């Protein structure tokens, strides 16, 4: 058992390096594409259940189990064979799956595309590239709102797209990271407050809130440390949730205060109202915070795994 857990550290190192150097695998073999197909096939089936909340709960459990359990069983058997071929297969499959649950490279790619368009004064292209990373109408956005949306995306994406999967990986291995990815993907699919989804997506939204609870509240401190290393004059004083979102406001509020910028989602919220309007340089600074903070989360993940190993030894 301990030997099995020891592998979690090198698997994490290889996965992070693979992500930084290579990025996402081709779409036709990306596990999240398979997850999306599972969700789209089972969605109508569970919506036909009379009680929408019960149907949504069963949908949530089914997707988590279908996505995380079979590969976990395969990995267990590969490891238990105790030969070099099965070990190599175990490592390759583990790295491939773990990498699919988080992304540093993808965040960099999408945000740098927005920065490039803004620097070229191509507001139309900037609106289009921003629409790829936010769930809001970007057709009327100016430079400040596009910059705000980008900074918000970096802050929120750090939590649910990187910190949370690795946080649960440190405790539950690849199974935990895959379960988190399943919940996160379902949250972006059915966890809306419209008539069609408010009941059906209730438990998915609740699950997403639960898994992000601790990472979202640790993130302001991590951003604060990153700001210190980058030479930004900011120190977190207390946790403040700046939006109606149970978790999202913590990371966005922290980065707004780190950069002293005013973040706005028209019609929904304004964060750090007395801050200056964000611009391209603030997006670049937010991206630097993301990079440094990602490194600290990597260290935290390794530390948790080492503590668990020490307790089990």
Which parts of the chain sit beneath pLDDT 50?
A: none
Report the predicted TM-score, pTM, of the whole model to 2 decimal places: 0.92
Q: What is the chain's length?
A: 313
Whether 256 and 232 have beta carbons less than 8 Å apart is answered as no
The pLDDT value recorded for residue 235 is: 64
The pLDDT value recorded for residue 144 is: 94
Residue 241 sits at φ, ψ, to 5 deg, of: -90, 115
The pLDDT value recorded for residue 18 is: 95
pLDDT digits (tens, 9 = 90+) for 166-218: 999 999 999 999 999 999 999 988 888 888 889 999 999 999 999 999 999 99
Q: What is the DSSP letter of 160?
A: I
- How crowded is residue 85: how many other Cβ atoms within 10 Å of its Cβ? 9
**Alpha-carbon gap, residue 261 to 197, rounded angstroms:** 34
The pLDDT value recorded for residue 150 is: 96
The pLDDT value recorded for residue 239 is: 64
Helix, strand, or coil here: 158? helix
- How crowded is residue 105: how many other Cβ atoms within 10 Å of its Cβ? 16
**Alpha-carbon gap, residue 113 to 119, rounded angstroms:** 10
The pLDDT value recorded for residue 195 is: 82
The pLDDT value recorded for residue 196 is: 85
Helix, strand, or coil here: 163? helix
**Alpha-carbon gap, residue 104 to 72, rounded angstroms:** 24
- Estimate the crossing angle of helix 8-21 against helix 84-99, to 10 degrees: 60
Number of H helices, E strands in the chain: 12, 2
Whether 278 and 144 have beta carbons less than 8 Å apart is answered as yes
- How crowded is residue 81: how many other Cβ atoms within 10 Å of its Cβ? 12
The pLDDT value recorded for residue 3 is: 63
**Alpha-carbon gap, residue 199 to 52, rounded angstroms:** 6
């Amino acid at each position: 058992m301990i030997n099995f857990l020891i592998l979690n550290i090198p698997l994490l190192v290889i996965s992070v390096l693979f992500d930084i150097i290579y990025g996402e695998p081709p779409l036709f073999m990306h596990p999240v594409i398979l997850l999306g197909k599972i969700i789209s096939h089972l969605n109508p089936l569970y919506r036909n259940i009379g009680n929408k909340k019960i149907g949504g709960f069963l949908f949530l459990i089914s997707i988590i189990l279908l996505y995380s359990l079979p590969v976990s069983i395969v990995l267990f058997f590969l490891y238990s064979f105790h030969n070099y071929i099965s070990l190599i297969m175990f490592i390759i499959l583990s790295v491939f799956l773990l990498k699919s649950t988080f992304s540093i490279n993808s965040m960099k790619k999408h945000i740098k595309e927005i920065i490039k368009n803004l620097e070229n004064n191509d507001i139309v292209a900037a609106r289009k590239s921003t629409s790829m990373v936010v769930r809001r109408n970007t057709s009327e956005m100016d430079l400040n709102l596009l910059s705000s949306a980008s900074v918000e995306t970096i802050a929120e994406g750090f939590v649910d797209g990187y910190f949370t999967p690795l946080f649960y990986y440190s405790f539950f291995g690849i199974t935990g990271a895959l379960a988190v990815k399943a919940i996160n993907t379902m949250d972006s699919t059915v966890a809306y407050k419209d008539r069609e989804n408010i009941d059906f997506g209730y438990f998915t939204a609740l699950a997403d809130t639960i898994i992000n609870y601790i990472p979202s509240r640790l993130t302001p401190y991590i951003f604060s440390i990153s700001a210190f290393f980058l030479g930004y004059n900011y120190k977190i004083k207390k946790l403040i949730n700046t939006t109606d979102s149970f978790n999202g406001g913590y990371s966005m509020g922290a980065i707004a205060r780190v950069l002293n910028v005013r973040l706005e989602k028209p019609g929904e919220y304004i964060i750090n109202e007395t801050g200056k309007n964000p611009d391209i340089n603030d997006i670049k600074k937010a991206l630097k915070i993301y990079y440094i903070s990602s490194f600290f989360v990597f260290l935290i993940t390794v530390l948790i795994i080492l503590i668990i190993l020490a307790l089990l030894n």
